[in-house]
With several copies, the nearest count.
Chain A
C-alpha cells in the first residue's frame, strides 16, 4: 500500500504506521518519521505562534509521488505512507509524516530518510513564521537540507 496525501487536517502517525503492517506477515520493519512544529525559546521576533504552510496544489502530490517511485525502485518496500499538511500549524502540532515498511530494517530506514531529505528540498511547500513580535517572515532554505538530499545522488551505495 503506497499513499501520498496533502491535507489541512492533522494525522494520526501511529494509526498510519500500524495500517502498513496490519494483516501482513511479510513486513519485518516499519520506520516512521513525524516532523512537528517546534517553538524554540527566545528567538528573534519573540515566541513562535504558528507556521503557515503554503503549497503548490497538484505539483506537491506529483513531486512526492515521483520521489516515492524512486524510493520503490531503489529499495524493496512493502508499503509507504507520506502525509504533508498545509495551512496554519501551531507549535507541538504535526507537519509531515513518512512511514516505510519493508522486510528488513536497512531498507525501511534508508527509504524513510531518502524521502524526508527530498521532501525538505524539492516538495513545493513554503513555511511562513508568525511570531509574537515583528512581521511575518518566510523561512529560508537551509544549505544543510540541500546537502542531505544530495548525498543520495551517488549511485555507488544504497545508504549515504
Chain B
C-alpha cells in the first residue's frame, strides 16, 4: 500500500511517499494514522493531533472511520488551503 504525505505532514515525516504493509488489525484510516504515528519522532509529530490531519483513499477524501481494505494509495495532509 502506497502512503503519500503533503504539506507539513510531509515535512514532519521527512518524505513524500512510502510503501507500507500494516498489520491486518489496521482496518480504518484512523487505525492507519495511529499505526504510522508509532513509527518514529517525525510520524508522532505529524499525527500529534490526529483530528487536524485529513486523508484520501485512492484520491478521494476519506473519513477517519473509512475502511482501507483494497486501497492502493492513501494520502495524509493538513486541511486544504487552496483557492
Binding site for B on A (CB under 8 A): 35, 53-56, 58-60, 62-63, 84, 95-96, 116, 119-128, 138-141, 145
Q: Tell whether, in the assembled complex, residue B78 and residue A125 are in contact, meaning their CB atoms are under 8 Å apart.
A: no
Instruction: Say which size band chain B's interface belongs to.
Output: 10 to 19
Known: A126-B6, A128-B7, A138-B8. A58 touches B59 (CB 8 A): yes
Binding site for A on B (CB under 8 A): 4, 6-8, 10, 56, 59-61, 75, 77-83
A84 to B83: give the CA distance in the assembly, Å.
7
Inter-chain contact total with CB atoms closer than 8 Å: 76
What are 16 A-B pairs at a CB distance below 8 A?
A: A35-B83, A56-B59, A60-B82, A63-B59, A84-B82, A120-B81, A120-B82, A121-B79, A123-B83, A125-B80, A125-B81, A126-B80, A127-B82, A138-B78, A141-B81, A145-B83
**Choice from A35, A56, A145 contacting B77 with Cβ under 8 Å:** A56
